[in-house]
Amino acid sequence: MVSFSRPSRWPRWARFLVSALAVVTMLTATGVVGYRVLAPADTVVPASSPYPERAVATSQRYGELTSAPLIVDGRLRVYADPRRVWADAQVTSRTEQTPYWTFRRWPAQVAGVVALEGKFEGVALVIVKFSDGVVVALNPRTGRVAWQAETKAGARDTFTGRRTGAATVYEPAGLFTARSSKDGAAVLVVAGGDEAIGFDPWSGERLWFQSFPENPGCHETDWTGETTYVVKDSCAAPAELTVYDAASGMRLGQWKPPGALSGPAEEANWFVQPVSCFRGYSRCSLIRAAPVSQVVSAVEKFESPESGRTASIWRLNNDGSVEAEKFAQADNPFLLSGSLIETEVSGIVRSVDRASGDVQWRSKSAVMRLVHVDVNGVYVITPDFRFVVLHPATGVELSRTDLRKDPGELWKVGHVHVAGRFVAVERITGAKETASDDRYYTGPTPVVMAGV
């Protein structure tokens, strides 16, 4: 601390000058500290150890984590909180480890995280969107910036992940992946503020740009199909989906469900939801839609036929056309080649031939949730908290992993992340989303990490 002596024998003007100098000195010091704390800054703590080998999953419960991991390249677990993204390097560790690398921006918040695998230096990229519209691609080997771009931020660009970060890393809004319909190359789509930009994710090069000047603030219902970008104008009468080619930005067509009304606004803005997605709202092959604004689930309709209207399932094709999936009966079916895999109202999982409607197989018992489908398996959680993998062609059980540490555990399933043979399951209490985190999550380490 700076100390000044002001003898009483000094003239008044001298004592005043010394006091003024003391005040200025203190304010200057405070300003320097404040600038260091408050000035916008990017901070990288890079990796200091070799890139780990890919982990091999075995059917077991590994442990519990505080944060929800995005499993990248089979080597890293990537996490997010409001101000930073970080990774640890032991996918099978029972707890979170000392960060392998950390990337922090201030004062912007982390709005979304996605990962792409396969081409950047032979591995992958971790791509982060921030609340100020800045998009940063990180090299997972080092945590260093591969490229950076600026986009327009929207109202939804904020951290929504709560304590675990799950929604931010598993369901990021305005940050999508897709593939080129010509050569299968990866595409990144960043949207916000009534704009959308297509990027080559490996180089950061802009591929296309689209703006939506009509009805500002009404274009935040969007997602990607396998090779398309879809955006809804919620304020048009009736509301309408516009489908673009993800690689070129070329407009392919528009769609609305049969019977959609032209007004009033609350009726014109009909219900729509992407389903059968690869991850989050990316690469969604099906659309759940109805020409009304409110719908009930298939289970609610089965239990009470007069409860309301259900939504229909539609196939989004790569050319932008949309056609009915006439044999789909569930709310959240998965499309796998020529089959629809869905849960009946009884909880039984079934596979249906898309062309004929013939049932190809049914599971032997009911499930709590069908969480994911890919060429390697049909992934379900049973009522007794087992994570079960079924063969996608036959329904034969391939593996069964107990997610509980103690047999008496009771909880609800929150977000679920499947990456290869690794899974992360968020455990929640069933409290309302408005509840505090202490009441919403099951304890301080609510995420179960397992291999299947």
Residue 402: per-residue pLDDT: 97
Structural domain contains residue 34:
yes
Structural domain contains residue 413:
no
Residue 40: per-residue pLDDT: 65
Residue 32: per-residue pLDDT: 43
Contact 333, 274 (CB under 8 A): no
Domain count, the chain: 1
Contact 201, 138 (CB under 8 A): no
Residue 123: per-residue pLDDT: 76
Structural domain contains residue 330:
no
Structural domain contains residue 389:
no
Structural domain contains residue 305:
no
Structural domain contains residue 7:
yes
Residues of the chain with pLDDT under 70: 1-40, 119-122, 265-267
Residue 29: per-residue pLDDT: 53
Structural domain contains residue 419:
no
Residue 367: per-residue pLDDT: 97
Range of the domain at 15: 1-39
Residue in 413, 361, 418, 429 with CA at minimum distance from that of residue 392: 361
How long a stretch of residues is the chain?
452
Report H helices in 228-374. Answer: 265-268, 298-303
Q: For 275-286, how does the pLDDT look when each residue is reduced to its tens digit (9 = 90+)?
A: 999 999 999 999
Residue 5: per-residue pLDDT: 46
Q: Please state the pTM of the whole predicted model.
A: 0.89
Structural domain contains residue 336:
no
SS3 content of the chain, % helix, strand, coil (to 5): 10, 40, 50
- Using CA atoms, how far residue 225 sits from 126, 202, 279, in Å, is 20, 20, 11
Q: For 375-409, how does the pLDDT look when each residue is reduced to its tens digit (9 = 90+)?
A: 999 999 999 999 999 999 999 999 999 999 999 99
How far apart CA 436 and CA 107 sit, in angstroms, is 24
